[in-house]
Chains A and B, each alone.
Chain A
Amino acid sequence: MAHNHRPPLALRALVVALHGALALSASVGYAQAPAPAGQAPSGPSFDDPAVQELVRPTNTIEAGVIAVDSPSFKFGEYNGLHREGVRPLLDFDVRGGGAYRPETGSTQRWQVYGSRLGLPVRNFGGEFAEQGSWRIGFDYDELQRNFADDYLTIYRGAGTATLTLAPAFPGNNNIQTAATAARIATDSTRHDLQTQRRRLGLSGEVILSPVWSLSVGARHEKKDGTKFTGVAYGGQRGTFLPEPIDYETNIVETALRYRRGNDAHLTLGYNISLFTNRTDAWSAQNPFANNATFNNRVVMSGAPDNSMHQLTADGGWRFSPATKLSVSAAYAKMKQNEDFRFQQHPGQIVNNGATRVDAEQVQQNFLARLNHAVSRAFDVTGLFRYEHRDTRTPVGTYAFAAADPTATPPLAANRVVNNLPQNRRQSTFAVDGRYNLQPGSIVTAGVEHQRIHRSVDGPVNPLVSQENPFLSGEATQNTVRVGYRQSFNEALNGQINVSHSRREAGPYFDFPPTGTAAAPVFPQVPGFRQFFLASRDQDKVRASVDYQATEAWSVQGSLEYQQDRYRESTYGLQRSGMTTLTLDSTYAASDKLSFNGFVSLEDGETRARYYHLASGTATLGYTVNPACPATLPAGGPSGNMADPCRQWSVTQGDRVWTFGLGAKSAGHLGGKLTLTGDVQHSRARTDILFSGGTYSSARVFQPALNMPTITSRMTDFQFGARYELKKESAVRLGYLHRRLHSSDPQFDLFGLTTVNNFIGNGMNSPRYKVHAISVSYVHTFR
């Protein structure tokens, strides 16, 4: 048995930190050495309290409590305030070291800090440095992500890798059967879906010489909890489960830097990222009809352990004051060789009995950028970027029954498949120029050419049943962009940038019909295009105006527009776009009273078009739809791609308004009281609209109907007051009220047994009203 005598990473990190601290303490006496006599500069006197106010750090310690009146996971999703009650608050930021006495020549600086220490989102750390020689630091950070507190599960053992049902659970494929529905209702218990992320970061740098330095950064991250995961049991039956999460990620990044004068630099780096999942597999008892083939349970694979090793080289050479070349290259190898975790079933083939796949992907990147100032008014940049992601996973043959069907699966030939490792290669060439027409007036223009090649590694003897997942393997994209900036004066500036790009997809493979000419059956609807492989036109506009109307009042407006059109996609995504308009303003009524406000509108739309063609239905009869005169002839055996009543489209429209208003007022009560207030309101609505329809299973035309509108309205009001008790102490009061009202038919309309083959989760779209009050004492010192 192998033993590992190495101490854990955290312990080793602690040792490094202690060494650093010892080095620090050893240097204290040195750092406080007085300035040599007789060399006092003629600048500010560092003994002057007014100067010390500016050159010595202001340290703060803040302690208090925060009270929350009602629990809400959505309110406390990331802020640690998900429970009602009183929580401690503790923040501090303390800096020191001889370097804050510039006249001594000390280069020692240190800082320790902490924030929200009383909450499960705490952060603390420190940094110690002998500037110009070495630096070490650490940072600890927690993040509790509260996903849902209204989740109901029928499973016992939530949080573990073995999820079981209550004894004698009446497994039934139709969960709406009275006895089963009743048991689901009574067996469902609440489980908090949340994850806790703890991250320890260590960093250090050594300046080895005027030209060499070495830096190391390490991160150890642990994440555990439960995740909202849906699982299928075969026959399109399923439910949600609390998937156990127990991840660990370790990252080390090292960089050796070389710098020659002001004209050349080089950085060599080596990066490691290691991911470990302690939940290799997890299982759940089948809540539907008994399935002896799969031992009446499902076995799920956890995310596999994996690793990445990467070598990088970045350099820049300014070979004349007007010309700089920068180059980057990286080579990364990603590997994954986790044991397969599954239940063997009759007829299953797992790559000649392999127990793991030994997956590997190599990623190569290269970038060269040449920037040259032709004149004081004109500069030009050329760029070449190359990326190749080459998956080198061995190709194997697999045959399986997807989602554990109830019956012993007779594995048809089309269930025998190869894994097909995917590759992607992309090259980009770009030239951009910038020309100063006159002072304050600048034109930019650029062109870009991009080529993308996607492919898979097929087996030596391809299976006839297997298609290439990349229906179009090649794409080229050409982009033209122009911009204009005008600074009319110091108070008024504006700019506009416009770009148009055209992507040409290579030949797109349309499946030939697999049926006879009289009754064609298509694996995929002819004319359908997967959007990321399809030809596309993309237009972008970005414009803004800044106006400093008076010394006290400024206004800023902006527009962002993007529209993607898939011009060759008869079916599939047709267009997708978003327009964002914003208006911001600030107004300083006096030295002590200021306001700011903003409003933004986001208006987006995504439209897709389809032709509904169920497999093998072409020869069936239809009920004639009077609105579709083509139905009868089109419904015939050979022309089923011409039936307008099989066309349908879906349009998702998003419209989001966000408003914000803030004010700050200082100088009350003899200058001791400062008040702040902020209110923000956002309202979003998503409409999912349909046109067209298709035939129901009874061959009667059924129009598609719009989904109910999805909405969310959030209002956030914050009020703060700070009262200075003395120069070095203050009391802070805070009040926060936030309310969210949202509706989501995909959750709100579906209870535990609304779908007869899928057990629901009891969750609703989030709604809350939360008040929080905080009071704290702030002590400052130097």
Chain B
Amino acid sequence: MNNIRKALGVLALLFGAASTAPALAAPNNLPELGAGPAAKAAIAQDKLRKDAVCTRCHDETEQAPILSLYQTKHGVRGDARTPSCQSCHGESDAHVKAPSGGGTGGKRPPPDVQFKKGGAYPVSHDKARGQTCLTCHDGGNRTHWDGAQHDRSGVACNDCHQVHKPKDRMLAKATQPEVCYTCHKKQRAETHRVSTHPIDAGKVTCSDCHNPHGSTGEKLVKKNNVNETCFSCHAEKRGPFLWQHTSANDDCMNCHTPHGSTVSPLLKARGPWLCQQCHGEVAQHPGAIYSGASIPGGPQGAQPPSQIAFRGCVNCHNAIHGSNHPAGRSFLR
């Protein structure tokens, strides 16, 4: 309860800070918000007039639907923040002012920024496409876009997002992985293994763990590091425990591979051999050989050791992520 009170206190603080916003609002070029119906209608009419520069030609007869943008958040014309066609595609004077039927060669010059690959004009450079979106979307999840992995790799926003489509595949949990698999084939292959997260079932998707726009963590993980990201769903493994397991506390990926594995649950290798990658102690059983010689049918298989059966070491060391039991140093309790 104390925690909740503290949280509410901080929330109140945030609200308080926000209420002082007008005083802090420095001059800027953003539109005024909170307009009434009449003002919004006027804004809409103005925007539609601007759009008409393009939509008088690119109308409902376009093979790739243009007007379906009006179903998306970008197309809400009463919202002063939303872009017109030329906000993203550029003023494109040469394209707009070319005579009907095309300029030289019967084809209009290209618009300033061309997003669609395989269209009538060459696609613009990824930087030009990306910066167009960042004009408005440069904060929040996109804070670290510039210079992050996807930016460096020449990926632009519309390589993944479908801005004109009513339902962007990237924004739906069930369809997002297919977009990511366009480039990340290894991860697609791994999701066909015996042990996976429920990705195919549409319950876990790539952006549940990754921020593709750039993040503070490595591997574009959503949080500051791998462990913090895993604890978003697996909070029971967060502890901090009385007895911390060094490799688990260090990095979940020391033992797990998150996209899919031949070993349940999402393990990099099988027990007991996975554990033996760190545990070669002489005393007791960690350093012993567990091979085909000691399984049933093997020369020593009459009395097989429990370590080679089922889940290996975890058969007994169940609290392997950490223990809060006073006798849990060996993660048995």
Does the CB pair B318–A363 fall under 8 Å? no
What 4 A-B pairs are tightest by C-beta distance, nearest first? A381-B147, A105-B41, A43-B52, A265-B139
In the complex, which residue of chain A has the Cβ closest to the Cβ of B144? A326
Q: Which B residues between 264 and 311 are near A, CB-CB below 8 angstroms?
A: 268-270, 273, 276-278, 280-285, 287-289, 291-293, 295-300, 303-306, 308-311
Which listed segment binds A: B96-104, B105-113, B223-231?
Answer: B223-231
CA distance A342 to B80 in the complex (A): 62
With A252-B7, A359-B239, A523-B281 known as contacts, the answer to whether A104 contacts B41 (CB < 8 A) is yes
In the complex, which residue of chain A has the Cβ closest to the Cβ of B28? A261
- A375 touches B (CB below 8 Å): no
CA distance A363 to B40 in the complex (A): 46
Option from B68, B185, B250 in Cβ contact (under 8 Å) with A580: B185
- B247 touches A (CB below 8 Å): yes
Which residues of chain A come closer than 8 Å to B240, judged between CB atoms?
Answer: 306, 334-336, 359-361, 391, 393, 421
CA distance A267 to B17 in the complex (A): 12
- B90 touches A (CB below 8 Å): no
Does the CB pair A272–B3 fall under 8 Å? yes
Does the CB pair A132–B80 fall under 8 Å? yes
CA distance A712 to B262 in the complex (A): 9
Does the CB pair A132–B22 fall under 8 Å? no
CA distance A357 to B325 in the complex (A): 10
Does the CB pair B49–A236 fall under 8 Å? no
Q: Which B residues between 63 and 103 are near A, CB-CB below 8 angstroms?
A: 65, 67-68, 70-71, 73, 75-81
Does the CB pair A454–B250 fall under 8 Å? yes
28 A-B pairs in the complex with CB atoms less than 8 angstroms apart = A30-B37, A36-B41, A41-B45, A44-B55, A102-B78, A103-B77, A131-B79, A212-B24, A212-B25, A214-B18, A240-B310, A252-B7, A274-B3, A275-B235, A299-B333, A304-B324, A332-B228, A403-B316, A419-B242, A521-B282, A530-B278, A580-B189, A650-B291, A688-B273, A690-B289, A705-B293, A708-B295, A750-B310
Does the CB pair B277–A531 fall under 8 Å? yes
CA distance A558 to B295 in the complex (A): 40
CA distance A648 to B225 in the complex (A): 36
- A563 touches B (CB below 8 Å): no
Does the CB pair B78–A104 fall under 8 Å? yes
What's the least CB distance linking A155 to chain B, in Å? 15
Does the CB pair A102–B76 fall under 8 Å? yes
Which residues of chain B come closer than 8 Å to A730, judged between CB atoms?
Answer: none
CA distance A572 to B277 in the complex (A): 6
Which residues of chain B come closer than 8 Å to A648, judged between CB atoms?
Answer: 289, 291
Does the CB pair B139–A267 fall under 8 Å? yes
Which residues of chain B come closer than 8 Å to A598, judged between CB atoms?
Answer: 185
What's the least CB distance linking A395 to chain B, in Å? 11
Since A389-B249, A521-B282, A654-B262 are in contact, a sample of 14 more A-B pairs with Cβ atoms closer than 8 Å, ordered by chain A residue number, is A44-B67, A104-B78, A207-B33, A212-B18, A270-B11, A309-B3, A326-B143, A381-B147, A385-B216, A402-B332, A580-B186, A602-B189, A750-B309, A754-B309
Which residues of chain A come closer than 8 Å to B216, judged between CB atoms?
Answer: 314, 328, 330, 365, 367, 385
- A161 touches B (CB below 8 Å): no
Q: Which A residues between 439 and 453 are near B, CB-CB below 8 angstroms?
A: 442, 444
- A260 touches B (CB below 8 Å): yes
Which residues of chain B come closer than 8 Å to A326, judged between CB atoms?
Answer: 143-144, 146
In the complex, which residue of chain A has the Cβ closest to the Cβ of B194? A712
Which residues of chain A come closer than 8 Å to B210, judged between CB atoms?
Answer: none
- A39 touches B (CB below 8 Å): yes
Does the CB pair B189–A656 fall under 8 Å? yes
- B179 touches A (CB below 8 Å): no
Does the CB pair B235–A532 fall under 8 Å? no
- A262 touches B (CB below 8 Å): yes
What's the least CB distance linking B146 to chain A, in Å? 4
**For the complex, would chain B's binding face be called helix, strand, loop or mixed by DSSP majority?**
loop
Does the CB pair A656–B52 fall under 8 Å? no
Does the CB pair B117–A381 fall under 8 Å? no
Per-residue CB contact flags for chain B residues 312-333 toward chain A (1 = under 8 Å, else 0) read 1011111100011111111011
CA distance A755 to B281 in the complex (A): 23
Does the CB pair B40–A315 fall under 8 Å? no
Q: Which A residues between 393 and 434 are near B, CB-CB below 8 angstroms?
A: 393, 398, 400-403, 417, 419, 421-422, 424, 432, 434
Does the CB pair A4–B76 fall under 8 Å? no
What's the least CB distance linking A640 to chain B, in Å? 11
- A53 touches B (CB below 8 Å): yes
What's the least CB distance linking A209 to chain B, in Å? 5
Does the CB pair B239–A336 fall under 8 Å? yes
**For the complex, would chain A's binding face be called helix, strand, loop or mixed by DSSP majority?**
strand
In the complex, which residue of chain B has the Cβ closest to the Cβ of A657? B189
What's the least CB distance linking A698 to chain B, in Å? 11
Which listed segment binds B: A225-233, A500-508, A622-630?
Answer: A225-233
- A610 touches B (CB below 8 Å): yes
Does the CB pair A684–B194 fall under 8 Å? yes
- A112 touches B (CB below 8 Å): no
Which residues of chain A come closer than 8 Å to B154, judged between CB atoms?
Answer: 442, 485
- B219 touches A (CB below 8 Å): no
CA distance A324 to B201 in the complex (A): 39
With A336-B241, A422-B244, A532-B278 known as contacts, the answer to whether A490 contacts B117 (CB < 8 A) is yes
How many residues does chain B have at the interface if contact means C-beta atoms less than 8 Å apart? 160
With A340-B324, A747-B310 known as contacts, the answer to whether A105 contacts B316 (CB < 8 A) is no
Which listed segment binds B: A13-21, A668-676, A756-764?
Answer: A756-764
Option from A31, A749, A758 in Cβ contact (under 8 Å) with B295: A749
Does the CB pair B17–A690 fall under 8 Å? no
What's the least CB distance linking B178 to chain A, in Å? 11
- A157 touches B (CB below 8 Å): no
Q: Which A residues between 209 and 243 are near B, CB-CB below 8 angstroms?
A: 209-212, 214, 216, 229-232, 236, 238, 240, 243
Which residues of chain A come closer than 8 Å to B249, judged between CB atoms?
Answer: 389, 422, 424
Per-residue CB contact flags for chain B residues 143-154 toward chain A (1 = under 8 Å, else 0) read 110111000111
With A107-B78, A210-B32, A602-B186 known as contacts, the answer to whether A706 contacts B324 (CB < 8 A) is no
Does the CB pair B244–A708 fall under 8 Å? no
- A172 touches B (CB below 8 Å): no
Per-residue CB contact flags for chain A residues 509-549 toward chain B (1 = under 8 Å, else 0) read 00000000000011111001011100000000000100010
Which residues of chain A come closer than 8 Å to B26, judged between CB atoms?
Answer: 211, 260
CA distance A385 to B148 in the complex (A): 13
Does the CB pair B291–A706 fall under 8 Å? yes
In the complex, which residue of chain A has the Cβ closest to the Cβ of B51? A43
Per-residue CB contact flags for chain A residues 685-718 toward chain B (1 = under 8 Å, else 0) read 0101010011010000011111110101010000
Does the CB pair A324–B280 fall under 8 Å? no
- B115 touches A (CB below 8 Å): no
Which residues of chain B come closer than 8 Å to A299, judged between CB atoms?
Answer: 333
- A582 touches B (CB below 8 Å): yes
Does the CB pair B44–A103 fall under 8 Å? yes
Does the CB pair B281–A688 fall under 8 Å? no
CA distance A379 to B125 in the complex (A): 14
Does the CB pair B300–A383 fall under 8 Å? no
Does the CB pair B289–A693 fall under 8 Å? yes
Does the CB pair A54–B289 fall under 8 Å? no
- A285 touches B (CB below 8 Å): no
CA distance A338 to B263 in the complex (A): 32
Option from B76, B270, B289 in Cβ contact (under 8 Å) with A109: B76
- A612 touches B (CB below 8 Å): yes
What's the least CB distance linking B281 to chain A, in Å? 5
- B237 touches A (CB below 8 Å): yes
What's the least CB distance linking B245 to chain A, in Å? 9
Does the CB pair B186–A391 fall under 8 Å? no
What's the least CB distance linking A113 to chain B, in Å? 10
With A318-B138, A402-B329 known as contacts, the answer to whether A359 contacts B242 (CB < 8 A) is yes
CA distance A28 to B12 in the complex (A): 30
Which of the listed residues A402, A613, A766 has the most CB atoms from chain B within 10 Å of its own CB?
A402
With A54-B68, A306-B239, A602-B186 known as contacts, the answer to whether A342 contacts B316 (CB < 8 A) is no
Option from A560, A746, A756 in Cβ contact (under 8 Å) with B308: A746
